[in-house]
Amino acid sequence: MNKILRNIIIALLIAIFSSLSTLGIIYYLLGFNQQGFFNLMRFVTAYRFIELKYVNQTDDINLIDGAIDGMVKSLGDPHSNYLSPKMYQSLKEQTQGSFAGIGVVMGMDNNKNIKIVAVMEDSPGQKAGLAEGDQIIAVDGTPVTEMAFDEVATHVRGEPGTDVVLTIMRDGAQQDYTITRDNIKLKTVGHEMLDNNIGYIQIVSFSEDTAQEFMDAYTDLQNQGMQGLVLDLRNNPGGLLGACVDIAKNLVPKGDIVSIVDKDGNKEVYSSDLEQVQYPVAVLINKNSASASEILSGAIQDTKSGVIIGETSYGKGSVQTILPMMDDDAVKLTIAKYYTPSGRSIDGVGITPDIEVKLDENSTVDTQLDKAKEVISQQINNQ
């Protein structure tokens, strides 16, 4: 071996040893153990093998994105996923209350089917003929079984004026719907005064403006002489915890609203300072009521500040947080579970209504709402 070759080999060995030492120091400082360092080296080895030997050209960003995506998917948690820049932007738009899309609310049933649970009035989806209960089979030809739920929502959204093709299953038959996206301003709260001075407030999701929208509706109904309240959380998939807690402070008496416990047992409690519940309250839920809507209905149920009517809710009792990455992407990860004031975890179980009323989908009569009005009327009369 000549001197030049020997020097090159020595230099390479020094570089490798230096890199390993540096990685080892970084891992030690970050608190990782020996197994963690070993796993990192497995990843680096696979990454370099693909980069150097794969027969076609590789894209470093796609390789890393795929690795992160696969790592999160390996958790087997449908609520944790990697958010590409497009998906992350869509999520931020959704929680801000405005986005470009087709104006439908989607949910996942117990069989993991993705269905349309609400269609916004005068939206592109409504104009195209989409209806509540439609099952989404594919988006632009890609089966939804190949995508996480958030990915489906992201692919449905897009730039105003662009088209998206949804393959819909309805009554056993499939049909493609071509829908032109538009700017959607999501009004999350609707309200009206029903007979017998019963106020009605519907919350379709919890976004940044929802608490203020609720207060505006609540105040308007008070000014009209409200004596009881029906709160409709059916088909509400959840949203921002802060908005849910702010609303609960007007409906739940002094004490706990919800507690959140992480993997280390650390507990964070959100509470209400309301001295007394002002009106009889009935809350409507169904199998598509999830997350923040279950927090609110669970708090009302546990504190006996209202009656829960309808069907058992979805059962999403976990808390997610967003970790922004360095390329306008992010990781959404389940970091804790929430518990109702009595200490219940409803994850995978749901909220069981105090009064179970099933809705006949073949009838135009809203039996759940009718039952809520009956219960509130009786409470008003008893006062």
Tell me, yes or no, if 73 is annotated catalytic.
no
Q: Annotated catalytic residue: which of 115, 316, 332, 371?
A: 316
Percent of all residues in the chain with a pLDDT value above 90, rounded to a whole number: 55
- pLDDT of 380 reads 92
| Residue showing tokens 């669970």 | 298
Please list, in sequence order, all residues whose beta carbon lies within 8 angstroms of the beta carbon of residue 376, skipping any fewer than 6 positions away: 196, 198, 228, 229, 230, 280, 281, 282
User: Measured between alpha carbons, how far is 73 from 80 in angstroms, rounded to an integer?
Assistant: 7
Identity of the highest mean pLDDT range in 35-44, 191-200, 313-322? 191-200
Please give the average per-residue pLDDT across 237-249, as a whole number.
Answer: 94
The residue ranking higher by pLDDT, 328 or 221, is 221
User: What DSSP letter does each residue of 135-184 carry, written as one string?
Assistant: EEEEETTEEGGGS-HHHHHHHH---TT-EEEEEEEETTEEEEEEEE-EEE
| Residue showing tokens 């995506």 | 69
Q: What is the pLDDT of residues 152-180, one digit of tens each?
A: 888 898 889 999 999 999 998 999 999 99
Contact indicator for 100, 183 with CB cutoff of 8 Å: yes
User: What DSSP letter does each residue of 287-340 carry, written as one string?
Assistant: TT--THHHHHHHHHHHTTSSEEEES------EEEEEEE-SSS-EEEEEEEEEE-
The residue ranking higher by pLDDT, 155 or 243, is 243
Q: What is the mean pLDDT of the chain?
A: 87
Q: Annotated catalytic residue: which of 272, 302, 329, 371?
A: 302
Tell me, yes or no, if 327 is annotated catalytic.
no
Q: What is the pLDDT of residues 190-224, one digit of tens each?
A: 999 999 999 999 998 898 899 999 999 999 999 99
Helices (H) and strands (E) in the chain, counts: 10, 19
CA distances from 252 to 115, 221, 273, 274, 356 (A): 32, 18, 9, 7, 22
Q: Annotated catalytic residue: which of 123, 291, 297, 305?
A: 291
Residue 6: pLDDT over 80: no
User: What DSSP letter does each residue of 55-100 carry, written as one string?
Assistant: SS---HHHHHHHHHHHHHHTT--TT-EEE-HHHHHHHHHHHHTEEE
User: What DSSP letter does each residue of 352-372 carry, written as one string?
Assistant: PPSEE----TT-S--HHHHHH
Tell me, yes or no, if 302 is annotated catalytic.
yes
